[in-house]
Copies of this chain bind each other. A is one copy, B any other.
Amino acid sequence: MTLKPVPKDSPKGESSPMYTISGLADEFGITPRTIRYYEEVGLLTSHRSTPTSHRLYDSRDRGRLKLILRGKRFGYSLAELAEILHLYDVDPTQKKQIKRTLEMGIKHLEEINEKIEELEELREEMIEFALSFLEIISEEKGDESDEMKAFIAGARAVVESMHGK
C-alpha cells in the first residue's frame, strides 16, 4: 500500500508533491475516467507542462477531489458540488460578490446542519427498532444455541452503546 508522490519533480528541482491521475484514482478507489470527467465539467483542474502532456495534480487538487467524493456520498449532485466548490474560489478582496458568496455559504452550512439532524433522527429510529427486535427475540426464549445467545447479547451491547449518541 504505497502512495505515489510520483515523478521526482515537475518543473525543476522539487516543489510540492505531485500526483498522477491513476495515483489519485487508486488512492480514492475511483478510475481515471472519473477524474477526467470532473475536469470536463469544471469541478477539478489539472496541471500540465505542455498542453499535450500527462495530467498532474497538487495537494490542493487532491483536497478538492476528496471534497467532491465526500459530497457525493452525502447525495450531492455534481452540479450542486460545483456551486459549493465555487465558494472556495472566490477572492475575498474582490468585494463584488462577497455578499452573495456569504449568503450561499451560510445556506449550505444550514443544509448540512439539517442533514446531520435528520441523520441523527434516522439513527435513533433504527436503534429503537433494533432494540424492540432484540426484545422480541429474547421473549421468544428457548431453543437458541449458546453461541446464538452470545451473539444476540453482543448485538444488544453494540446497539445500546450507540444509543443517545
Residues of A in contact with B (beta carbons under 8 Å apart): 67, 70-76, 88, 92-93, 95, 98-99, 101-102, 105-106, 108-109, 112-113, 115-116, 118-120, 122-123, 126-127, 129-130, 133-134, 136-137, 140, 143-144, 148, 151-152, 155, 158-159, 162
Chain B residues, CB < 8 A from A137: 92, 95, 98
Chain multiplicity (copies): 2
**Given the contacts A73-B75, A73-B118, A75-B75, A123 and B113 also touching, CB distance less than 8 Å:** yes
- The minimal Cβ–Cβ distance linking A157 to chain B, given in whole angstroms, is 11
Query: In the complex, are the beta carbons of A92 and B151 less than 8 A apart?
Result: no
Chain B residues, CB < 8 A from A93: 136, 140
The residue in chain B whose Cβ has the minimal distance to the Cβ of A148 is B99
Chain B residues, CB < 8 A from A158: 106
